Amino acid sequence: MANKSGVISVASRSRRLLLGALTLSLLAAIAPARAEEAVKVSLNAPFDGSNAAFFLAEERGYYAAEGIKPTFDPSGGSGEAVTRIGSGTYEFGFGDVNVLLDFNAKNPANAGRAVYMLYYRSPLSIGSFAKAGISKPSDLVDKKIGGSLGDGAYKLFPAYAAVTGIKADSIKWSYGDLRLRESMLLKGDVDGILGFDSTMYFNLVRQGIKPEDIKFLYYSDAGMDIYGNAILASKKILTEQPGVVKGFVKATAKGWQDAIKDPKAAIAAVKKRSSLVNEAIELEKLEWLIKNQLVTAESKADGLGGVRAERFGKSVATVAEAFQLPNVKPEDVFDPAYLPDAAIRQLP
């Protein structure tokens, strides 16, 4: 009897285990998928080649793999991206680290951080036509210059003026929406405009302007050896959900790595989001950014995402002095704690 009971007991136990496993499998099958963390992302501009990598990362499932569901919104420039994360209405932004520096110094209670550097050479510049005769900073005096109040180039012009020794109030300013800036130049309403070289260049070429007729004065050529656009994170998400920050940075880094490897795929991804995108022009723009802003001697050696302490320290000091901002420290602007593995940061 004992042996028989033992056999029955073992068989019964096996059936219970099998039923338990089947129940767990069934529950797993019908259980809802893990909810993705919804985040809002302010881009640096309207949807275009400069931010196509974000859409490529989304299309390839990199954000979903990190449990993140991003919503990407266009903006009027880096200034708007910075104020959006500063207000806490957006978790992430893509904007100029120097504009963030200025914001943080004036709004320490709402200070976000740059968490992944992308532009190793600042594209900030003054664009003009050759006929305007603007070939050096002093040529800007008494000229009429167009800018967008929310754009990083306008916000940082006082720093450029301070470094070059010209007076900002010697400029005759005309303001307009970022999307109308080139129209002001084309109509002859202004002698020059402020912005990113690639944005201005391709918008003007699209209107039939010959490349040789477009001239740029770069902020970097005046001694402002500054970094440019980075991924920005709000104070709120840095404090409350650092894991989401790490996941977002990792996914975005993979998207940019893929975009550098295959720019056409990135443009195809943004085209799906905005049907009005001119694929040929935006592909040229992305390739321009890769060549001139992302791929430098520094990023080749170190990979994307980080900054060199000495250079960044000098950059912060230059901008802080121009803006007359006291006690600005590099760590108040950039935090490397969220950088992904080196393999994801390497240029392809």
Q: What is the pLDDT of residues 284-316, one digit of tens each?
A: 999 999 999 999 999 999 999 999 999 999 999
E-strand ranges in the chain read 37-42, 68-73, 92-96, 113-117, 124-129, 144-147, 172-175, 192-196, 214-218, 229-233
Are both 186 and 304 inside the same structural domain?
no
Statement to judge: residues 100 and 144 lie in one domain? no
* Rg, the chain, Cα only: 25
Mean pLDDT, rounded, of the chain:
89
The mean pLDDT of 40-48, rounded to a whole number, is 95
Least confident of 25-29, 277-281, 331-335: 25-29
Pick the more confident residue, 295 or 324: 295
**pLDDT of 51 over the 90 cut:** yes
Residue 13 pLDDT exceeds 80: no
Using pLDDT thresholds of 50, 70 and 90, give the confidence band for residue 330.
very high
**Mean pLDDT computed over 54-58:** 98
Per-residue confidence at 34, pLDDT binned at 50, 70, 90?
Answer: low
In this predicted model, which residue has the larger pLDDT, 144 or 153? 144
CATH number where 145 lies:
3.40.190.10
Comparison of pLDDT for 18 and 42, the residue scoring more: 42
Q: How confident is the model at residue 129 (pLDDT cuts 50, 70, 90)?
A: very high
Has residue 154 been placed in a domain?
yes
Q: Which residues contact 197 (CB under 8 A, 6 or more apart)?
A: 123, 125, 127, 216, 218, 288, 292
Q: For position 249, what pLDDT does the model report?
A: 98
pLDDT of 327 higher than 80? yes
pLDDT average, residue stretch 232-254 = 98
Domain count, the chain: 2
- The neighbour count for residue 316, using CB atoms within 10 Å, is 25
Confidence at residue 179, expressed as pLDDT on a 0 to 100 scale: 76
Domain identity same for 324 and 239: yes
Same domain, 129 and 278: no
Is there a single domain that holds both residue 311 and residue 170?
no
Query: 23: pLDDT confidence band, cut at 50, 70 and 90?
Result: very low
**Do 217 and 232 belong to one domain?**
no
% of the chain with per-residue pLDDT over 90: 74
Residue pair 78/96 in contact (Cβ under 8 Å)? The answer is yes
Residue 10 has pLDDT above 70, yes or no: no
Instruction: Indicate whether 256 pLDDT > 80.
Output: yes
Question: pLDDT tens-digit profile of 176-230?
Answer: 887 788 999 999 999 999 998 988 998 899 899 999 999 999 998 998 889 999 9
Low-confidence winner among 9-23, 97-111, 118-132 (lowest mean pLDDT): 9-23
The domain in which residue 314 lies consists of 37-120+227-345
Same domain, 96 and 234: yes
What pLDDT is stored for residue 152 in this prediction?
77
Residue 333 host element (H or E): none
In the chain, the amino acid numbered 121 is R
pLDDT recorded at residue 16 = 53
216 with 253, same domain: the answer is no
- 19 in a structural domain: no
Average pLDDT on 83-98 reads: 96
CA–CA separation, 112 and 104 (whole Å): 7
Q: What local confidence, expressed as pLDDT, does residue 236 receive?
A: 97
Q: Are the C-beta atoms of residues 206 and 49 closer than 8 Å to each other?
A: no
For residue 82, give the nearest of 95, 69, 71 by alpha carbon.
95
Q: Within a domain: residue 106?
A: yes
Last residue of a domain, one of 155, 187, 222: 222
- pLDDT score for 22: 44
